[in-house]
Structure 1
Amino acid sequence: MKQIYITLLSALMFTASSCEDYTDVTPKGSLVVETASQFYEMVSLPNRGYPINNFQYLSDDQWMRESNVIGRTPNIDILNFTFDETVDRVSLLGGSSFYNQAYTYINRWNTIITLVDDSKGDDNIKQLAKAEAKIYRAYDHFLLINTYAKGYDPQTSATDGGICIMDKFDLESQPSKSTVAQVYDFIQKDIEEALPYLQEKPLDVYHPSLAFAYAFKAKVHLFKREIANAQAAAEKSLSYNNQIFDMVAYNAQGGPTAVAVPAANNVEVLSYMYMLGYTEMNLGQLYVISPELRTLFGTNDARFNLFFNTTSTSNLDQGSNTAYWGTQYTRFFYPTVGMKTTEVYLMLAECYARENKLNEAVDVLNTLRAKRILSGTVNLTVPATRKETMELVVSERRKELLFGFNRFFDLKRLNTETEYAKTITRVFPIVNKTVPQKTYTLQPGSRLYIIPFPLSVLQKNPKLTLNTDEKVPF
């Protein structure tokens, strides 16, 4: 039985040329992994990070301060914010923490899946470790495919360029790029193979629960427009955890200044993952929401009133109608890139809307809004059409699933459907009067929605080609 050594100072970033290099000597500062329980413990990975800086300003929910745009040399943020398609972005994306970290995590999951069967210990623990690693491997592939490829379209997915599938522990692999359809097939295969072995209450919160797994399954089905399956998975997830944190009651208690709600106390959380790390909301002044989103919140929404700052002269352009997250993570834990129960409710509402069950869709939205809206119109009325009902669902998704990649992914998937596609317009600047105000437009089919692979990765793997018409500078 071969042993594997994991350094305590890294997230399993191997530098040796093959597994054989790990069979003889235990490196200083390293840990021998040779039992099923140790492989199982490897699944628990606190502080997983998925930086969104390569694409965050393509969302209509986020905004940049005018001083960070006007007079500055265009970088990837400015190009995205101004929807500039005239520049090939590849040379500006020399590397990507998002790409590197997602594949580093996949390498970790593959290590467990490939090697745990040869370890010492209980076969049930081995099966559980593999199942948990597979659900996380599927999740990381899902994030990658929705960043670096076109949104899933049933008509074109079999030929749309995707990403490299990494399905085994192989330090020398240079995989070929798969199609979008192939990647989704791989994701769904991992999910289905994992589900029978996962637990309702795993060892700790960094191991995937059945509530999370079924929520993720629902999300994949929804993105593929497999509505009946998405609805069934969402209902299954809610059967394990259907709790909604009551922000209306929380507001009456005095909100985050009076009552702290750390991560362990937020009953909605299904998975603990972050953009940057568990303290990320201390950087809330960087998360400026657009005038459009601020207007969407209105004046009686606890999601806005409890947590956002609108008065700062240091972090906002006064008069721009923007706002930023102003609440420290120790006062209130807000999931950004992981999943939570309210996303499951919103997926269920969307399933109902797409099936023309408009009353049921609005009932689900009102269940959520009862815990979010402080006064005025809490219960929405049922629209006359499916499209109008979908607009209500999308509006609630924007207000509930803040930051992270949810809005960016939603724009991409909905843009593949004529009925729900959106042309984004951005008028800028709003406050500064020394430069001409312009209207910037992002069309639903823009290549900007497909993020180029990092230049460093393209150079190392000649089999990997861009999914856009941009030029590689070598």
Structure 2
Amino acid sequence: MRFRSYLTLALLSIFTLPACNKYLDVVPKGKTVISTTDDFYKMVSLPNRGYYTGNFTYLSDDLWIKESYVIGLPKSMDIINFTFDETANRPDYLTASNYYNQAYSYINRWNMVISLIDDTDGSSSIKTLAKAEAKVLRAFDYFMLINVYSKSYDPATAANDGGVIIMDKYDLEAKKAKSTVAEVYKFIQQDLDEALPYLQEKPLDVYHPSLAFAYALKSKVHLFKREYAQAKAAAQRSLTYNGQIFDLVKYTSQGGPNSLAVTAADNPEVLNYAYMTGYNELNFAYTYLMSPELKGLFNTTDARYNLFFTTGPSPYLDAGAGTAFWNVPYTKFFYSTVGMKTTEVYLMLAECFAREGNYADAMRIINDLRAKRITNAAQAQLAVPTTTKATMDIIIQERRKELMFGVNRFFDLKRFNLEPDYAKTLVHTFPIVNKTVPQVTYTLKPNSRMYIVPFAQDVLKLNPLLTLNTDETVPFR
């Protein structure tokens, strides 16, 4: 793709230095000039990284939509996704993608650090550290891209499955063809492996990636590739640096968010500060309604639901639909969605144990987590199953409850759909409340092309080499 030649201060700022004059010859008035090693290192710290999931929000069994946002309205991406409309040619409706453009703008930022910092004046150790941290964040962004715009990693087909464009250096004008899924994963793993020896356990601030986060991401990459032994080792290593779980049972006894605010910086579980919407994560969560199915997974003593969600009365949801929405301002409690956290690492480790047939250790992790989530201690402890399938079913259910919203359920559906034991046909019966239109049952099969989100028109126009990963058509080609 061709990166935009202008970068706003709010996102990336326009930077210049002697070594990169061939890219940016003029420093616009009022923009920041980057000229030293320390300046570049500070660039790695980027608060408020957002990954807006609007192009695929409703391709999930965890989210629901208000009926008036569908009934009587023309097709939109939300309606197409929620009704699993496979007849729609989605590129006709995707003029742009905030998610895609933001991820690549961040990648451009990390490439600036990696490509240009060696030509600046400053400490060689800081240069090495800055490049390592930038590679971790670049790996994260490519993981976010490949799992939206491509098929989930399948060892049998990844070498041929269409992926995304790999931009491995700072070049605002480059137009490249996309790589395969296997090539993108190889690039992600290379970035992580090259970075890990130089990272810090406690970096300069929370926006610089730590060893705990890097190993957590490494575990996730291996898990999605079904490399369970490597995923297990990386998860265990991550937890040696940060294995804290925020105790919601204790928090309930303290009065919850109305009595004790827990902002982003106060939540020890958070490994990576990335958001759907920004600092105000879930503050507008009535647009992310919990589905009746997900709501039904929480028992009556689950603090993950009781502390934070409401069924109304509220104009934001349909009374009687069985949905719920987040009802706590971000100033009172920060809940990580897109970014990684320690509880995800525990769940990945539990999955690795289950995959190797160690059900006792898998359930020990699950029960330790539930002990800090379920206020009734007797209900928190689950028996150890006798099969991989039964253990995995519990883990998958806990993942849904612990890793709500964001990207995780969408990513999980895609990867589990490649395994017959865990593949799932999604079902939406809609509307539930409105009786003026016929109720319809919509289904989404595990092998649906809808799980691969098409590239939007803006980037397809900029780069003729970029082609879709689905059999849909581009409106202007």
TM over 0.5: yes
Q: 2: CA distance between counterparts of 1:6 and 1:383?
A: 53
Aligned equivalents of 2:322, 2:463: Cα separation in 1? 45
Q: Deviations over 1:110-131 (max 9, x none)?
A: 0000000111011000000000
Superposition deviation, residue 298 in structure 1 = 2.0
| 2:271 alignment partner in structure 1 | 270
Matched, 1:464 2:466: yes
1:208 touches 1:271 (CA, 8 Å); kept in 2?
A: yes
Q: Distance in 1 between matches of 2:222 and 2:66?
A: 37
Compute the displacement of 1:318 (Å): 1.0
Q: Which residue of 2 aligns with 1:180?
A: 181
Instruction: Write the mapping of 1:82-93 to structure 2, written as runs, cut at 5 A.
Output: 82-93=83-94
426 and 137 in structure 1: CA distance in 2 versus 1, 3 angstrom threshold? same
Cα distance change, pair 121–467 in 1 and its aligned pair in 2 (3 A): same
Kindly provide the amino acid, as one letter, of the partner of residue 285 in structure 1.
Y
2:172 is matched by which residue type in structure 1? L
Q: How many residues align?
A: 468
1:73 equivalent to 2:74? Answer yes
Please report how far the alpha carbon of residue 75 of structure 1 lies from its aligned counterpart in structure 2 after TM superposition. 0.4
Rate the CA distance shift 1:312–1:11 in 2: closer, same or farther, 3 A.
farther
- d(CA) in 1 for partners of 2:280, 2:124: 37
Deviation of residue 423 (structure 1)? 0.8
SS state of the match for residue 32, structure 1?
A: coil
Deviation at 1:19, TM superposition (A): 4.2
Q: 1:318 to 1:222 in 2, by over 3 A?
A: same
Name the structure 2 match of 1:20. Answer: 21
CA–CA distance in structure 2, aligned partners of residues 65 and 26 of structure 1: 47
Closer/same/farther in 2, CA of residues 14 and 56 from structure 1, 3 Å limit:
farther
Distance 1:31 1:256 in 2: 39
Gaps of 5+ in 2: 1-5
1:429 equivalent in structure 2: 431
The secondary structure found in structure 2 opposite 1:356 is coil
TM-score w.r.t. the length of structure 1 is: 0.96
In the alignment, residue 170 of structure 2 is paired with which amino acid?
F
Q: Which residue does the alignment assign to 1:257? A: 258
Q: Deviations over 1:432-461 (max 9, x none)?
A: 111111111000000000000011111111
Aligned to 2:3: none
State the secondary structure of the residue aligned to 2:296.
helix
1:6·1:30 contact (CA, 8 Å) conserved in 2?
no
Mapping 1:124-273, distance limit 5 Å: 124-273=125-274
Q: For residues 472 and 224 of structure 1, do their structure 2 counterparts lie closer, same or farther at Cα, with a shift above 3 Å needed?
A: same
Residue 398 of structure 2 is aligned to residue 396 of structure 1: yes
Bigger mean CA deviation after superposition, 186-195 or 29-38 = 29-38
TM-score normalised over the length of structure 2: 0.96
CA–CA distance in 2 between the matches of 1:77 and 1:229?
A: 37
Residue among 397, 409, 412 paired with 2:411: 409
Letter in 1 for 2:173: E
Distance 2:465 2:357 in 1: 44
Secondary structure at 1:30 match in 2: coil
Contact 2:199 2:210 in 1 (8 A): yes
Q: Distance in 1 between matches of 2:165 and 2:263?
A: 37
Distance 1:384 1:374 in 2: 26
Distance in 1 between residues matched to 2:77 and 2:151, nearest whole Å = 19
Match of 1:111 in 2: 112
Cα displacement (A) at 1:263? 1.0
Contact between 2:427 and 2:444, CA under 8 Å: does it hold in 1?
yes
Give the root-mean-square deviation of aligned CA atoms: 1.6
Paired residues of 2:15 and 2:27 also in contact (CA < 8 A)? no
> Quick one: structure 1 residues 221 and 13, their matched pair in 2 at CA, closer, same or farther if it must change by over 3 Å?
farther
Pair 1:253–1:469, CA change in 2 (3 A): same
Distance 2:385 2:301 in 1: 22
Secondary structure of the structure 1 residue equivalent to 2:81: helix
Given that 2:13 and 2:31 are in contact with CA atoms closer than 8 Å, whether structure 1 keeps it comes out as no
- Please tell me the residue identity of whatever aligns with 1:84: D
Q: For residue 315 of structure 1, what is the amino acid of its counterpart?
A: Y
Give the percent of matched residue pairs that are identical in Structure 1 and Structure 2. 63
Aligned amino acid, residue 292 of structure 1: E
CA contact (8 A) 1:362 1:382 kept: yes
Instruction: Provide structure 1 residue ranges, at least 5 long, that are not aligned to the other structure.
Output: none
In structure 2, do the counterparts of structure 1 residues 34 and 229 end up closer, same or farther at CA, with 3 Å as the change threshold?
same
State whether residues 37 and 127 of structure 2, in contact with CA within 8 Å, keep that contact through their aligned partners in structure 1.
yes
Shift, 1:209, TM fit? 0.3
Call closer, same or farther: CA 1:115–1:324 in 2, change over 3 Å. Answer: same
Shift of 1:25: 4.8
How far residue 10 of structure 1 moved from its aligned partner, in angstroms, is 4.0
Say yes or no: does 1:382 pair with 2:384: yes
**Residue 21 of structure 1, CA deviation:** 5.1
Within 1, Cα distance between the matches of 2:411 and 2:472?
21
Distance (Å, rounded) in 1 between the aligned partners of 2:372 and 2:457: 45
- Residue aligning to 1:59: 60
Residues 269 and 188 of structure 1, relative CA distance in 2, 3 Å threshold? same
- Paired residue for 2:450? 448
